[in-house]
Amino acid sequence: MNLFCVKTNGPFPQKGPGKSVFHDEGAIKVQTIMLRAGQSIPPCAMDYDVMFYVVKGTGTLVVNGRTIELQAGSGVVVPKETKSREMRAGEDLTILAVQGRTERS
């Protein structure tokens, strides 16, 4: 069992996106993604389903060309079949990301 607090995760990175991994074994990986206002994560594909939950800030998530507005308290699940996903921070953004690593039936 791992106990963690996303709100007291530590300082924002000065440069570039930051990540803190809380759990990375077995069926799930749990981490925070921290972006400064204006920073982005370029388009990518992932091998796992991912749930993104916005802890703080605003931004956008673009999934297969569709733009989703993000704000504190919102969440979205992006399936592994997604061809492209990218993220941009409008304000400093902290996101909890949970990857599911098991096969779906």
DSSP 47: S
Closest CA to 47 of 71, 16, 78, 24: 78
Give the CA count within 13 Å in the CB-facing half-sphere of 56. 14
Q: Which two tokens stand for residue 86?
A: 């990218």
Q: What pLDDT sits at residue 11?
A: 59
| CATH class of the 18-100 domain in this structure | mainly beta
Closest CA to 70 of 47, 84, 49, 86: 86
Q: What pLDDT sits at residue 45?
A: 87
User: Which portions of the chain are predicted below pLDDT 50?
Assistant: none
Q: What pLDDT sits at residue 24?
A: 82
